[in-house]
């Protein structure tokens, strides 16, 4: 059984994440990569969504290993508002151009992995700066359903939640993630 997610729940979760990031950024020598899922609706903790999340965490771990960065801490948390992953990484020995490259690789994972469109990786350089697609001159995310800009579809409510979830669940099933 799940508890209905309200706007207040989502806002409280956003505030909690912000406070957690703030605690990490008391150390100026770190940056953070987070993972959340792009799943609309009230049921964000289902086995198949957790499987997608764990695969997203694994893809990120592999990418960070390849980049030879010093991962200090990894956290996975499961809230009613959805699973959340946090990678705390040392800035030591990295120049500022390195962050653009990491953001490009995160976007590449989001766009090329079969389940990538469900993954939402964010890069925080410090407590005040999240590196966005726009910051590195990349296009915004596209909609699951129609490939227009996702923000425009969400703002205009062009598609209902049921339609979006059908596309998402079909994508997950193609990846052989099943809901038990």
CATH code at position 99 = 3.30.70
- Inside any domain, residue 2: no
The reply to whether 167 falls in a domain is no
Q: Are 60 and 121 in contact (CB under 8 A)?
A: yes
Per-residue pLDDT of the chain (180 residues; tens, 9 = 90+): 457 888 898 899 999 999 988 888 888 899 999 999 999 988 888 999 999 999 999 999 999 999 989 999 999 999 999 999 999 999 998 887 889 999 999 999 998 888 888 999 999 998 778 888 888 888 888 888 988 998 899 899 999 999 999 999 998 988 765 554
Burial 146-180 (b: 16+ CB within 10 A, else e): eeeebeebeeeeebeeeebbeebbebbeeeebeee
CA–CA gap between residue 180 and residue 46 (Å, rounded): 8
Whether residue 58 lies inside any domain: the answer is yes
pTM of the model: 0.88
Give me the residues paired with residue 86 across strands: 34, 75
Largest Cα–Cα separation, the chain: 47
Is 63 within the bounds of a domain? yes
Look at the chain and report how many structural domains it folds into.
1
- Residue 14's domain comprises 7-139
């Amino acid at each position: 059984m799940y508890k209905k997610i309200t706007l207040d729940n989502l806002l409280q979760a956003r505030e909690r994440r912000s406070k957690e990031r703030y605690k990490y950024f008391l150390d100026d020598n770190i940056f953070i990569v987070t993972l959340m899922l792009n799943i609309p609706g009230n049921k964000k903790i289902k086995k198949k969504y957790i499987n997608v999340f764990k695969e997203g965490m694994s893809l990120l771990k592999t990418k960070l290993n390849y980049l030879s960065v010093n991962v200090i801490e990894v956290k996975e948390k499961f809230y009613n508002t959805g699973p959340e992953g946090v990678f705390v990484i040392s800035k030591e020995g990295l120049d500022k151009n390195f962050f653009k490259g990491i953001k490009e690789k995160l976007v590449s994972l989001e766009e090329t992995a079969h389940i990538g469109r469900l993954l939402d990786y964010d890069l925080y350089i410090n407590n005040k700066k999240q590196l966005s697609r726009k910051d590195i001159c990349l296009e915004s995310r596209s909609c699951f359903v129609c490939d227009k800009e996702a923000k425009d579809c969400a703002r205009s409510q062009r598609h209902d939640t049921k339609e979006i979830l059908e596309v998402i669940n079909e994508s997950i099933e193609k990846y052989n993630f099943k809901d038990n």
